[in-house]
Amino acid sequence: MKILIRVVISAIALWVAAAVVDGIDLKGGSTWEKVLTLLVVAVIFGIINAVLKPIIKVLGCVFYIITLGLIALVVNAGLLMLTSWVAGKLNLPFHVQWFWPAFWGAIIIGVVSWLLNLFVADDD
């Protein structure tokens, strides 16, 4: 159940980023098609982050130290662009046009996800 809540939170964050940032496009017909697209893209984004982000952090640990963690913004933008590419290969109507929309979109996704996760009970 917790994983479904996280997917929904990611989908909401992606929706906010698509609504706010010019260059992140969410096309589609009905509202339900957009919701389904956002849910699938949230799953893709979650899988990409779960698999690649730890590898990138380990391999690029020096860059994280040198830049005081600011390289994470660039990494998150790259992962969002990769998500857009995978969504395109799956014929999903979600597209990030280039780096700067991905950069600002990744920041918005991070902030919105953090805010929404404040309301989710952590079962530790």
* β-sheet bridge partners, residue 24: 96
Q: What is the pLDDT of residues 54-110, one digit of tens each?
A: 898 888 888 888 988 888 899 999 999 999 999 999 988 999 999 999 999 999 999
Q: How many residues does the chain have?
A: 124
Distance CA 99, CA 93 (A): 18
Distance CA 121, CA 124 (A): 9
pTM summary value:
0.85
Q: Which residues, at least 6 apart from 99, have a Cβ–Cβ distance to it below 8 Å?
A: 77, 81
Q: What is the pLDDT of residues 24-54, one digit of tens each?
A: 988 877 888 889 989 999 999 999 999 998 8
Q: List the domain boundaries for the chain.
A: 2-117
Three-state SS sequence of 32-46 = HHHHHHHHHHHHHHH
Distance CA 58, CA 26 (A): 33
